[in-house]
């Protein structure tokens, strides 16, 4: 094994599943590291429950360190596969209380689902997610839209339906092969070409979509013929003295191609075209359009200020349904592949940071009525380590019996972020900047706030979503490279001074304002000699920089140090575009579709109850219920929005023979009642959710806002 022997690797067995099969479509690429006498299937490695990618992509095997792989193999050697009954089962079902473990090939054999996204969850055959359809109107077989073989249109493990086109059905194997060939940038619905909704559903159902270019994109000069375009004037009488092949962009001698076929052209001047935006069709295409009857239909639309419009004029004036203008010679393979750049998703970045979290658990004792003080005490405890897994226990203040009950980590972090947003550490209405609070600075609370934000992001809590662009730019690019705006000023008096200076129309008016504000400008060091009216712009800039940046320099540096916890600040600075979406913007509003996709059905579904559940979500979205989408999510998980890193464990639905719904925030599980009528279902859901949340708010209302 000391020498490279390419032929031998095919006969080597994977250290996880003990199979020597080399089938990339089923098990992922087979990788052999002869130096360490190690062979693994990529999917066996990726889906193993006790390992994470701690190295860079080029280290170890796909970033999984050799020492970690050996530890995982050793851990798995003690676990028996519930399918083949042999040891080495490295993959476990993520469903709560499910103890099944299995090898990756054995899981495929028993139709388990492996999700190649998020936390790379695995579900056994009893707990796997399913596709639910309210009714089946298809009485006959339908073709798989990829291989065209006829299949029964009933969702199952091997048969999947498109989430965006209800008449599109696929074999699982067909979808998987297409996904591997197309990659994340070209894998889409074969009917409507939707990619976002389609990919999300396919990932949920266990289709692996590799983050790579499509196989046809990797071929040398694959699109060379598409880069060639027609550049010749083909009209009967060409007026250009330089000849039919002459093309001068941005002039009357620029060549315009036929908007229908693209294989004929004209100089703008040769067809009396006044601008590039006007449409032009060659004689052949014009004849087809006229004879097809489409043109006569178009004449029914009255054009403004035109009573007598001829055929030629109509064709020239009507707006083009084709692509916008592209200057000749500007097309290239890169333009044909717009959007194919690899972009880091913020959830992926946070999951990477989450790999630092150790298995060791630290229990935090939290009083929900005093979240801030409880969190400060817990995070300042000398035994607290941000890289330890967090476990929450709720306690009641002044409880002589010392009772405690399990709490939801995500609910705790959500309540903490709500308090932080409304605390005196920040100022502003919606987009907030740091305030200057001398007592908070003395108590080092700005550092603690940054630390809490970092912990929340990495440990699966919600994002703040209230940073101003100015605060964000200061963190990413530095205060010296950031220019504040008037909206960053929350002090009314200071804002009025800036407005008065900015709206001064004469030098005399400007000097008058400065004289009135002399003491303030002298105090902040912004007095300057005024000689021209344009000096007001530099003065306004100086005031903004002082008030928004220089005044809070000490709180900013302390807050910045806190954000360095678990390497969060460094990640923000490396990927500012990704983090701006969660730090400066609130999460998207929840919809019936989002919640329906979010909750996985873990138990054998009661079709009637699930139908009521989907109808209830739609009623809530349409405003026909007293609850909101956010209320439902809070009731089940403790969070009003989906955390950037996703929920762990995945939110699930259970159908129980109970009168009222039950929310288990520790497991993100919602038990919905089985009722005889939808009206009874909705009333029970509304009553329980509304009153539960009302009670929780009353318990903590005396503290919120303090």
Residues belonging to the active site = 666
* Residue found under tokens 């959500």: 414
Judging by DSSP bridges, how do beta strands 669-673 and 662-664 pair with one another?
antiparallel
- Please compute, for residue 569, the number of CA atoms within 13 A of its CA located in the half-sphere on the CB side: 21
Q: Is 36 helix (H, G, I), strand (E, B) or coil?
A: helix
Closest listed residue to residue 464, CA positions, set 488, 437, 433, 442? 433
Q: Is 359 helix (H, G, I), strand (E, B) or coil?
A: strand
Angle of helix 492-502 versus helix 507-516 axis, rounded to 10: 160
Sign of CA dihedral 380, 386, 388, 389: positive
Phi, psi angle pair for 394, to nearest 5°: -85, 135
Burial class of residue 623 in the structure, from the number of CB atoms within 10 Å of its CB (0-12 exposed, 13-18 middle, 19+ buried): exposed
Cβ count near 357 (within 10 Å)? 19
Sign of CA dihedral 177, 183, 185, 186: negative
The C-alpha atoms of residue 47 and residue 106 are separated, in whole angstroms, by: 13
Burial class of residue 445 in the structure, from the number of CB atoms within 10 Å of its CB (0-12 exposed, 13-18 middle, 19+ buried): buried
Element at 655 (helix H, strand E):
strand 652-656
Burial class of residue 655 in the structure, from the number of CB atoms within 10 Å of its CB (0-12 exposed, 13-18 middle, 19+ buried): buried
The C-alpha atoms of residue 677 and residue 608 are separated, in whole angstroms, by: 9
Distances in Å between the Cα of 146 and the Cα atoms of 152, 169, 173 are 15, 9, 10
Closest listed residue to residue 668, CA positions, set 621, 632, 624, 706? 632
Question: Residue 12 has what DSSP assignment?
Answer: P
Distances in Å between the Cα of 607 and the Cα atoms of 155, 295, 307, 633, 652 are 14, 51, 61, 22, 16
Say if residues 235 and 205 touch (Cβ distance below 8 Å): no
- Strand boundaries in 162-284, DSSP class E: 169-171, 255-257, 265-267
Distances in Å between the Cα of 203 and the Cα atoms of 85, 178, 430, 662 are 29, 13, 35, 28
Buried residues in 120-155 as b, exposed as e (16+ CB within 10 A): bbbbbbebbbebeeeeeeeeeeeebbbeeeebebee
């Amino acid at each position: 094994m000391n020498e490279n022997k390419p032929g031998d690797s095919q006969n080597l067995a994977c250290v996880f599943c003990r199979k020597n099969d080399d089938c990339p479509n089923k098990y992922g690429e087979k990788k052999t590291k002869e130096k360490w006498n190690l062979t693994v299937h990529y999917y066996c490695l990726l889906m193993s429950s006790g390992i994470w990618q701690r190295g860079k992509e080029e280290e170890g095997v796909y970033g999984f360190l050799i020492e970690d792989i050996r530890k995982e193999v050793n851990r798995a050697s003690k676990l028996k596969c519930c399918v083949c009954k042999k040891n080495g089962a490295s993959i476990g079902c993520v469903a709560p209380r499910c103890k099944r473990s299995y090898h990756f090939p054995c899981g495929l054999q028993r139709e388990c689902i492996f999700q190649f996204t998020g936390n790379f969850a695995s579900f056994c055959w009893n707990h796997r997610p399913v596709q639910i359809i309210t009714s089946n109107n298809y009485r006959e077989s339908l073709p798989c839209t990829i291989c065209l073989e006829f299949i029964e249109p009933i969702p199952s493990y091997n048969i999947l339906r498109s989430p965006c086109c209800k008449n599109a059905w696929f074999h699982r194997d067909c979808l998987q092969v297409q996904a591997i060939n197309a990659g994340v940038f070209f894998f889409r619905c074969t009917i409507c070409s939707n990619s976002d909704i389609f990919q999300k559903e396919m990932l949920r159902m266990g289709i692996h979509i590799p983050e790579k270019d499509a196989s046809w994109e990797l071929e040398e000069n694959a699109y060379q013929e598409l880069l060639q375009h027609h550049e010749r004037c083909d009209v009967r009488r060409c007026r250009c003295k330089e000849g039919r092949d002459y093309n001068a962009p941005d002039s009357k001698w620029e060549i315009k191609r036929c908007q229908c076929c693209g294989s004929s052209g004209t100089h703008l001047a040769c067809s009396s075209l006044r601008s590039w935006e006007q449409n032009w069709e060659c004689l052949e295409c014009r004849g087809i359009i006229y004879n097809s009857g489409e043109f006569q239909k178009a004449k029914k639309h009255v054009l403004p200020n035109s009573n007598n419009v001829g055929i030629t004029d109509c064709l020239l004036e009507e707006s083009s349904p084709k692509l916008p203008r592209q200057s000749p010679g500007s097309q290239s393979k890169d333009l044909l592949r717009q959007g194919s750049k690899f972009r880091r998703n913020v959830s992926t970045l946070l999951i990477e940071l989450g790999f630092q979290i150790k298995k060791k658990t630290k229990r935090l004792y939290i009083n929900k009525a005093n979240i801030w003080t409880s969190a400060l005490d817990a995070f300042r405890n000398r035994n607290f380590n941000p890289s330890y897994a967090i476990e929450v226990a709720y306690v009641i203040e002044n409880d002589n019996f010392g009772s405690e009950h399990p709490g939801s980590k995500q609910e705790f972090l959500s309540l903490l972020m709500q308090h932080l947003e409304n605390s005196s550490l920040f100022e502003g209405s919606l987009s907030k900047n740091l305030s200057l609070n001398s007592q908070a600075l003395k108590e080092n609370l700005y550092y603690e706030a940054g630390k809490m934000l970092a912990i929340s992001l990495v440990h699966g809590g919600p994002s703040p979503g209230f940073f101003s662009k100015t605060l964000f730019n200061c963190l990413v690019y530095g205060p010296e490279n950031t220019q504040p705006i008037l909206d960053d000023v929350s002090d009314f008096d200071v804002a009025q001074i800036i407005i008065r200076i900015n709206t001064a129309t004469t030098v005399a008016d400007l000097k008058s304002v400065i004289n009135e504000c002399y003491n303030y400008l002298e105090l902040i060091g912004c007095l300057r000699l005024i000689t021209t009216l344009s000096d007001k712009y530099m003065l306004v800039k100086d005031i903004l920089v002082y008030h928004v940046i220089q005044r809070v320099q000490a709180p900013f540096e302390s807050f910045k140090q806190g954000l360095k916890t678990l390497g969060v600040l460094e990640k923000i600075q490396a990927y500012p575009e990704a983090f701006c979406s969660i730090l400066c913007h609130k999460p998207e509003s929840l919809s019936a579709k989002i919640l329906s996709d979010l909750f996985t059905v873990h138990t054998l579904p009661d079709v009637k109850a699930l139908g009521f559940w989907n109808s209830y979500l739609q009623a809530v979205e349409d405003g026909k219920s007293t609850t909101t989408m956010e209320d439902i999510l809070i009731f089940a998980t403790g969070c009003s929005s989906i955390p950037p890193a996703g929920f762990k464990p995945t939110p699930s639905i259970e159908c129980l023979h109970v009168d009222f719904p039950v929310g288990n925030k520790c497991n993100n599980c919602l038990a919905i009642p089985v009722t005889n009528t939808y009206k009874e279902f909705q009333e029970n859901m509304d009553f329980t959710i509304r009153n539960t949340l009302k009670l929780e708010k009353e318990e903590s209302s005396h503290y919120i806002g303090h």
